[in-house]
Structure 1
Amino acid sequence: MDLVSLFEFAVERYPQYEALVQGETRLTYEQMNRVIDKTASGLQTLGIKQGDRILLVLKNRLEMVILYWAIQKIGAIFTPINFRLSPDEINYCVQDADAKAVIYEPVSKKTVLEAIKGIKTLKISVQAAQGADICYEELQEIGSGKPAIPRIHDDDVCLMLYTSGTTGCPKGVPRTHKNEYSAAVAHIIQNRYEVQERTLGVMPLYHTMGMRSLLSMAFLNGKLVMIPDYSAQAVLDQLEKEKITCLYLVPTIFHDILNHPEFEKYNLSSLKKLGYAGAAMTKALTEKIFKKLKPDIFINHYGSSEVYTVSVCNYLDKKPGCAGKPGFHQRIRVVVPDPDGNSTPDDVVPSGVPGEIIVDLRTSEAFQGYWNRPDATKKAIRDGWYFTGDMGMIDEEGDLFVLGRVDDMIISGGENIHPLEVEDVIAKHPKVAEVAVVGLPDPRWGEVVTAFVVPKDPALTVEELDIYCKESNRLSNFKRPKQYVLVSAIPKSPVGKILRRKLKAEYEKLYLKKESVS
């Protein structure tokens, strides 16, 4: 089943249901479909054909949703990237994808135009951004109003997401109609969504979480409320105004809205179904969500761009932070970790022992390899399994806990130490707001465990932290940080993941105070 057919079924089913909202603009399914058809026809008039990659450098706005469905209707490949990327990063993605067109807006205009200087590609602007060959509004006027929809197959690529470039150049992840259909169905079932749910379009559409919200709402004739400019205030306003029923967010946004000074003033009684992904959530935040939002359903999703669902946990009240059991399309294992890529699917570790999480590729949610990167594909896909690069541990009840990245492992004095186990201890200190742990080079130990800490209380001292770690019965002495660095902020990706490599690289830049302990 291709995505275009499913969308058109939804339009026919409930044409008058509200589909898309942004500010004062409200579109029903029927109205949205008319705009989509005009946009799709305009793209075809410009010569964009089935299989062409269209690179979008936009915020989460209404136009991006229209363009998504227009690109699907003509069989092209929606290729969104982070609008905050540098010119060099955008240039790499444009050339790697061999993009037929690049679509940008005022916030990304300068970097995009610098990035594509000398590259022959169509330039399409949104929100009257300068320097384009044609603007979004003109696009809707130049075609016939109805696109010629090509024959689309399940295995045709419809989306390409670029993974984070923290380990080098970003990798393109091509996803087919079958992949995206299966991931959306999994999302609907695992979140127990129903017809006419209402959610926020706040998670980036260049990220798999944003795509899940977009597709699941469309298939269920739900309403997607876009927030181009994120703030906790804007989220709370829309939650109340639009009577939002479900959310799928990173922990950072849940943290922001729950800690907003006016949180208690809002009526969020419609909000019943919550899910999070993208980063670990602390036990304290999990408990706060149960207490303040009182969800009927609260689920942790563990997945990736390559394979949407890996596992889900819907009993976070009993096991905060748990990633749970494999999704219903999935089979997983935890194997001996090897950053060089030499472990096999048979190198399974016992329960309670950390290892690398791998996923059986016989799932309709899984990709089949990276775009133009046979080297990365060979390392990630072995003997029919996808090696995630994530560390995990399966407990005696068969539940998965995600521990971080394999290549985040710290080797100090020959001992393997994972940052998350140290962070979990330090995060519980009442004067700590945030913490990130990395290994820094040391001539004696190879690496030393180093904790970067954002104080909640300015009176926090390094000595106090070290005594706290020494007295913790959860942290072996060899895992105790040998260095503590008090900082004003921890660098994170747009979805809230700690950027440990950036933290290492910018150590001097972030440095406010450093003291070593023995």
Structure 2
Amino acid sequence: MDLGTLFEFACERYPQYEALIQEDTRLTYQEMNLEIDKIASGLQALGIKQGDRVVLVLKNRLEMVTLYWAIQKIGAIFTPINFRLSPEEIKYCVQDADAAAVVYEPVSEKTVLEAIKELKTLKIGVQGALGVDVSYGELQKKGANQPDRPKIHDDDVCLMLYTSGTTGRPKGVPRTHQSEYSAAVAHIIQNRYEVQESTIGVMPLYHTMGMRSLLSMAFLNGKLVMTPDYSAQTVLEALDQEKITCVYLVPTIFHDLVYHPDFAKYNLSSLKKLGYAGAAMTKALTEEIIKKLKPEIFINHYGSSEVYTFSICNYLDKKPGCAGKPGFHQRLRVVVADPDGNSTPEDMVPAGVPGEIIVDLRTSEGFRGYWNRPDATTKAIRNEWYFTGDMGMIDQEGDLYVLGRVDDMIISGGENIHPLEVEDVIAKHPKVAEVAVVGLPDPRWGEIVTAFIVPKDQSLTVEELDDYCKESNQLSNFKRPRKYVLVAAIPKSPVGKILRRKLRSGEYEELYLERESAS
């Protein structure tokens, strides 16, 4: 079964249900399907065929959704990338994917045209973008009302996501109709979604989280409300006005919402089901969300573009920050961490001991290897297990805690220290807005624990922070930061992952002089 056909099933089931909303445009499933068929036929008229990669450099807008489904119906491969990428990065992805076409809009026009000026790639424009071979409006008129539907198999690739590249160049992650369908089903089950849910399309559609919201709403005849230009206020307004029932967001966005100065003005009583992923959430933020949003369901989802679900936790009130048990299609292990890639699935560590998290790749949600990167595939996939590169620990109750990346582990004076356990303590300080902890080189200790902090209150001092950590009964003395740096912002990827490498390399704006704490 292919995704385009499954979407048509939904359209036949409840044709008059609202499907897609953006500002004043409201499309039912029937209306949306008619639009999609025209776009699909138009793409075929331009020569886009089954198996072709179509790169999209767009914001989260209505046209990106209709193009997604049009591309599925003709058996091509939807290949979205971040519209904020540099010309060099866009060129790399377009060439790596061997793209048949690139779709862009005014915000990405300059960088795309610079990136592909020497490439023979079809250019499709949205929202009046210049320099195109064909506009979105012309695309609608190019073909017939119905596309020619090729035979599509469930193991055909339908989507290629490029990993966000927190280290090194991005890697293409090809995903099949089966893996995307299975991931959507798991998402529905794990978040306990029902027919006619509604959500907000704020997570990028070049990210696995955006894909989950898109597919789960379609399969349940739900409503997807697009927000091309993100702001916390825009999201709060949409949650209120559209009576949104469920969201799936990164912790950064939850932070923006619950700490927004006008939060109390909005009626969010319809919002019952919350999920987060993409990055760790501090205990302080978890508790604030529970207090202010009072969710019936609150899920921490831990996974990746390569294998959608690793684990889920739906008892965050009892275990804030916990990643829980393996997901619906999954099992996992924690093994001896080896950055050189020499550990095996049999090198398991006991409960309470940190190690690298690995997951069973026989899951129907998983990929089978990176695009054009046999080196990365060999390192990541061993004996039918996917080595995540994440550090974790399983407690005595069999629950998983994610501790950061293997490469993020701090080794200070021979002791292993994981950033998240230090961040969880500092985040509870009432004058701290955000915190990120990294290890910086030190001639005596090898590395020293260094806390980068965005202050909520400008009266915050290093001495105050150090006293707070000393007095905490949750932080051993050897884990206490030896250096504090007050900064304007914590560098993050587009989906909210902390870019610790930038902190290590000095890519931040310091507010005050950094100081080392007393030993």
Superposed pair shares fold, TM > 0.5: yes
| CA drift at 1:185 | 0.2
| CA drift at 1:512 | 4.0
Q: How does 1:181-220 map to 2 (within 5 A)?
A: 181-220=181-220
Q: How does 1:319-334 map to 2 (within 5 A)?
A: 319-334=319-334
1:259 aligns with 2:259: yes
Match of 2:503 in 1: 503
Match of 1:464 in 2: 464
| CA drift at 1:479 | 1.9
Paired residue secondary structure (1:513): coil
Q: How does 1:329-408 map to 2 (within 5 A)?
A: 329-408=329-408
Match of 1:3 in 2: 3
Mapped to 1, the partners of 2:269 and 2:163 lie a distance apart of 36
Distance 1:510 1:341, change over 3 A: farther
Match of 1:111 in 2: 111
Q: How does 1:93-172 map to 2 (within 5 A)?
A: 93-172=93-172
Match of 1:226 in 2: 226
| CA drift at 1:475 | 2.1
Mapped to 1, the partners of 2:14 and 2:39 lie a distance apart of 22
Mapped to 1, the partners of 2:506 and 2:76 lie a distance apart of 39
User: Is 2:60–2:204's contact at 8 Å kept on the other side of the alignment?
Assistant: yes
Alignment deviations for residues 458-486 of structure 1 (CA, whole Å, 9 cap, x no partner): 12221222222223232222222221111
Aligned AA for 2:270?
Answer: S
| CA drift at 1:506 | 3.1
Aligned AA for 2:487?
Answer: V
User: Is 2:323–2:401's contact at 8 Å kept on the other side of the alignment?
Assistant: yes
Q: Aligned pair count?
A: 518
User: Is 2:284–2:424's contact at 8 Å kept on the other side of the alignment?
Assistant: no
Mapped to 2, the partners of 1:463 and 1:273 lie a distance apart of 40
| CA drift at 1:411 | 1.7
Alignment deviations for residues 402-440 of structure 1 (CA, whole Å, 9 cap, x no partner): 111111011222222211122122222222211111111
Mapped to 2, the partners of 1:408 and 1:487 lie a distance apart of 20
1:311 aligns with 2:329: no
Match of 2:240 in 1: 240
Point out 4+ residue stretches in structure 1 off by more than 6 angstroms: none
User: Is 1:300–1:322's contact at 8 Å kept on the other side of the alignment?
Assistant: yes
| CA drift at 1:247 | 0.8
Match of 1:51 in 2: 51
| CA drift at 1:236 | 1.3
TM-score, normalising length from structure 2?
Answer: 0.98
Paired residue secondary structure (2:132): coil
1:13 aligns with 2:13: yes
Mapped to 2, the partners of 1:505 and 1:85 lie a distance apart of 20
User: Is 1:487–1:513's contact at 8 Å kept on the other side of the alignment?
Assistant: no
Which runs of no fewer than 5 residues in structure 2 stay unpaired? none
Match of 2:36 in 1: 36
| CA drift at 1:44 | 0.6
Paired residue secondary structure (1:280): coil
Q: Percent identity?
A: 82
User: Is 2:55–2:94's contact at 8 Å kept on the other side of the alignment?
Assistant: yes
1:175 aligns with 2:175: yes
| CA drift at 1:508 | 6.5
User: Is 1:249–1:277's contact at 8 Å kept on the other side of the alignment?
Assistant: yes
| CA drift at 1:449 | 1.5
| CA drift at 1:504 | 1.6
Match of 2:292 in 1: 292
| CA drift at 1:328 | 1.4
Mapped to 1, the partners of 2:281 and 2:431 lie a distance apart of 18
Worse-superposed segment, 99-108 or 283-292? 283-292
Mapped to 1, the partners of 2:506 and 2:48 lie a distance apart of 42
Worse-superposed segment, 504-513 or 190-199? 504-513
Aligned AA for 1:71?
Answer: I
Worse-superposed segment, 406-415 or 54-63? 406-415
Paired residue secondary structure (1:278): coil
Which runs of no fewer than 5 residues in structure 1 stay unpaired? none
User: Is 2:166–2:493's contact at 8 Å kept on the other side of the alignment?
Assistant: no
Aligned AA for 1:364?
Answer: S
TM-score, normalising length from structure 1?
Answer: 0.98
Match of 1:431 in 2: 431
Mapped to 2, the partners of 1:509 and 1:98 lie a distance apart of 38
Mapped to 2, the partners of 1:508 and 1:277 lie a distance apart of 25
User: Is 2:54–2:100's contact at 8 Å kept on the other side of the alignment?
Assistant: yes
Paired residue secondary structure (1:141): helix
Mapped to 2, the partners of 1:39 and 1:366 lie a distance apart of 29
